Structure 1
Amino acid sequence: MFRFRPGSRRGTAAVALAAASLMLTLGGCGVDRVTPQDARGKAGKAEGEAGTQSEAGTDDKGTGAGARRVDCAEVKCIALTFDAGPGKDTPRLLDILKEKRVPATFFLLGKKHVDRYPQVVKRIADEGHEVANHTWSHRILTDLDEAEVREELARTQTAVEKITGRKPTLMRPPQGRTDDTVSEVSKELGLAQILWSVTAKDYSTTDSALIRQRVIDQSRRDGIILLHDIYDGTVPAVPSIIDELKHRGFTFVTVPELLAPGKAEPGVVYAPESE
């Protein structure tokens, strides 16, 4: 999400700006948001209505409740997401996720990331994680005109498809900043917008213990955790984050699984409820 080197003067200033921007962004804007619970409830209602018309209760595409790995209406789910990679530490992160049997959602940057680490992108997809879009060069989309927003998103769509054979269906706007123009372009490109409820602010510290504690303290059912696999303190914190949240009864899911049986609709902004 935020890209600079911790500890530098420029980085310190950027941290303050980023924190202020984050508070403003998550504090409220004019774009309506859908919670995971609402997404599931809407789809569940539709499934129920369909069930009254068909004894089967599921459609012929296998998208009924039986097609889901977990039912987050019944299970205490949380989604682990990583922004702004892949980077040099992403292979180690993938090793950890494989060992812990945890799926994640990766919002990838195009420039100097997807184009630099194509084999890592392929591995992310091959190992069952959700590959998503975090723009090409991390420009703030609400500062751009429609054509520029389209360029930022479309370039990464194309780059990911070339590597994995599939275009992402999810995107995360840098700093969580979105508006009607961003939503319209996202809809055009088939991208739902995904925000978050848990942030460790790992762009501002290399202290893995602090990153871990921040995540644990903020984690709630149906939450979405935001981390970055490009910062030195983050990947070392992941094993203990996973172990502690599992101990507390959480089941890790991808963002699409968190919304299921709902499906992320292009252009729509999804965000967990904030306390």
Structure 2
Amino acid sequence: MNKSAKGFRRAASMTAMTAVVMAVALTGCTKVDTIAPSSARKDAASVSVKSQGKLGTVDCRKAKCVALTFDAGPSENSPRLLDILKEEKVPATFFLLGKNHMAEHPELVKRMAAEGHEVASHTWSHKILTDITPEEAREELRKPNEAIEKLIGHKPTLMRPPQGRTNPDVNKISREEGLSEVLWSVTAKDYTTDDSDLIKKRVIDQTGRDGIILLHDIYKGTVPAVPGIIAELKKRGYVFVTVPQLLAPGKAEPGKVYRP
């Protein structure tokens, strides 16, 4: 089977896996508390400077910030996406899968880190963490941590649970593995359409200050929509940052769940 066919099969598989429950994805965390970026920034005032995150060149306490995030890569579409982000000088946060993704595209993981993007975990094989045993969930989180560390020299500090489904047990395991959980406020549902114009419209219509935008570069229509999304949001005064930059000077704490 050629690479194109393999990529299509994986995308189709991910679509089926994701679409079943994605419509209620954000309800998967109703039993746990979530922390808004603005709250993380505000709470930073009560902790030592040493414990605060790095502000970098953007202070989201003043700027109208938004975080562009991509799940389930890397894929054969990632090089074009990285080219676009580099050209537009836009940092992103990549929540990567291990099996059949990082394992097959290690050079793209290295490139993401080298070009200033935040490399994070989306588990090893996209198992729903609330539906498996604690031991299995720990393995789903530990394996990508180790793979990422081997590729870029340090473990991720952020993870996104598949379908946004989490609970106190997942929180506990995440804390023990040194991971904070990051959900989202904007979804284009790009697993349901290849229409790039529609994907762009959905993102633009939902985005507000401190928004965390969920996209998937594994789908055909997504990457072509990105230039238009960036252009329109810049026009509206938004500044693109990574998730850690969105929280700064607050800092994501392992075991906590972040969502606008």
Query: Which residue does the alignment assign to 1:79?
Result: 67
Query: Which residue does the alignment assign to 1:257?
Result: 245
Query: Which residue does the alignment assign to 1:46?
Result: 47
Q: Aligned to 1:249, what secondary structure does the other structure show?
A: coil
1:196-211 equivalent positions in 2, closer than 5 A: 196-211=184-199
Aligned identity (percent) is 60
Query: Which residue does the alignment assign to 2:180?
Result: 192
Amino acid across the alignment from 1:44: A
Structure 2 residue 10 is matched with structure 1 residue 22: no
- Unmatched runs of 5 consecutive residues or more in structure 1: 48-57
The offset of 1:23, in angstroms, is: 5.5
Number of aligned positions between the proteins: 252
Supply the distance in 1 between the matched residues of 2:137 and 2:53 (Cα, whole angstroms): 35
Structure 2 residue 154 is matched with structure 1 residue 151: no
Supply the distance in 2 between the matched residues of 1:140 and 1:231 (Cα, whole angstroms): 20
Change in Cα spacing, 1:96 to 1:13, as seen in structure 2 (3 Å) is: closer
Change in Cα spacing, 1:14 to 1:89, as seen in structure 2 (3 Å) is: closer
Change in Cα spacing, 1:11 to 1:117, as seen in structure 2 (3 Å) is: closer
Given that 1:108 and 1:132 are in contact with CA atoms closer than 8 Å, whether structure 2 keeps it comes out as yes
Q: Aligned to 1:243, what secondary structure does the other structure show?
A: helix
Structure 2 length normalisation: TM-score?
0.91
Structure 2 residue 136 is matched with structure 1 residue 135: no
Structure 1 length normalisation: TM-score?
0.87
Structure 2 residue 101 is matched with structure 1 residue 113: yes
Supply the distance in 2 between the matched residues of 1:103 and 1:11 (Cα, whole angstroms): 26
Change in Cα spacing, 1:64 to 1:162, as seen in structure 2 (3 Å) is: closer
The offset of 1:176, in angstroms, is: 0.2
The offset of 1:29, in angstroms, is: 1.2
Structure 1's consecutive aligned runs of 4 or more residues displaced over 6 angstroms after TM superposition are none
Change in Cα spacing, 1:112 to 1:38, as seen in structure 2 (3 Å) is: same
Given that 2:26 and 2:164 are in contact with CA atoms closer than 8 Å, whether structure 1 keeps it comes out as no
Change in Cα spacing, 1:23 to 1:126, as seen in structure 2 (3 Å) is: closer
Query: Which residue does the alignment assign to 1:173?
Result: 161
Q: Aligned to 1:137, what secondary structure does the other structure show?
A: coil
Amino acid across the alignment from 2:74: P
Change in Cα spacing, 1:41 to 1:19, as seen in structure 2 (3 Å) is: same
Q: Aligned to 2:233, what secondary structure does the other structure show?
A: helix
Change in Cα spacing, 1:161 to 1:11, as seen in structure 2 (3 Å) is: closer
Supply the distance in 2 between the matched residues of 1:211 and 1:97 (Cα, whole angstroms): 17
Q: CA RMSD, aligned part only?
A: 2.1
Supply the distance in 2 between the matched residues of 1:180 and 1:21 (Cα, whole angstroms): 18
Amino acid across the alignment from 1:22: A
The offset of 1:24, in angstroms, is: 3.4
Query: Which residue does the alignment assign to 1:68?
Result: 56
The offset of 1:4, in angstroms, is: 6.1
Amino acid across the alignment from 1:35: A
Amino acid across the alignment from 2:24: S
The offset of 1:197, in angstroms, is: 0.1
Given that 1:69 and 1:257 are in contact with CA atoms closer than 8 Å, whether structure 2 keeps it comes out as no
Amino acid across the alignment from 2:103: D
The offset of 1:154, in angstroms, is: 0.3
Supply the distance in 1 between the matched residues of 2:132 and 2:24 (Cα, whole angstroms): 17
Structure 2 residue 86 is matched with structure 1 residue 98: yes
Q: Aligned to 1:33, what secondary structure does the other structure show?
A: coil
Supply the distance in 2 between the matched residues of 1:84 and 1:5 (Cα, whole angstroms): 9
Structure 2 residue 229 is matched with structure 1 residue 229: no
